[in-house]
Amino acid sequence: MSLASRSNGQLTDAVLRLRIGVVLHEGYEMQSQIALPCLAIFLVQYVISEFLPTAADEKERAAAFSFANVKYFHRFTKDDQHEYTPAGQEDLNAWADMVTIQVYRKAKDGEALAATANAVLENYKANKALVVKTDSVPRTTDKPAEHLIVVIFGRPEFIEVVFARFRMNDGVGTAVIYSHRIYGRRVGDQMSAWLKESGPATEGNLMKWNAMPELPAPR
């Protein structure tokens, strides 16, 4: 779970085992002895081709959305908090990239959204976050204002940078939060290099992202 998510409040592999036993009794004709194994092989191939999707097909169906040209898959939902990571990052104790979507159902307009963003910022600070940037996009005739918070959480085992975008979605306040972690001790230089190389593009991708998925029901 992202530290930003905490401050805001495995995919299961299906395995199909198929056994086809062909018992050939003495006295069967040679033609039957050949035909039955061939039939068994045909049935196995049919079941595999029809009912067992390839890994690529399964990932394609399971992907909730793409962010920065990377597919993200749903991993966790609790109440109005939904977490997603890329393929290969199923372990929520060892992820490197996460997108969290947080819904604020009480925020029904731009003013309430701004108040929510300010409250989250103060919560980040209370959790010892280093504030890198705050910004707002003024409202237009088409949509309310949006707000951006970028912070860094330093922990003994890792450093996590958080880009949180607050916006209205279908009349309800939401935060779309991208988090990136680097694990290890004394990795500040690595994070600084990542921010220099990827920070501006990450912010740009987040602020233009408009692929809100259908969220799972609260659990």
Block residue for tokens 């004394």: 186
Q: What is the DSSP letter of 217?
A: P
Tell me how crowded residue 69 is: count the other CB atoms within 10 A of its CB. Answer: 6
pLDDT attached to residue 3: 75
C-alpha span between 219 and 217 (Å, rounded): 6
For 157, residues 6+ apart whose C-beta sits below 8 A from its C-beta are 183, 184, 185
Q: Within 13 Å and on the Cβ side, how many CA atoms surround 18?
A: 14
Low-confidence stretches of the chain (pLDDT < 70) are: 5-61
C-alpha span between 84 and 103 (Å, rounded): 14
Closest CA to 176 of 63, 120, 99: 99
Domain boundaries, the chain: 3-9+64-208
The architecture CATH gives domain 3-9+64-208: 3-Layer(aba) Sandwich (3.40)
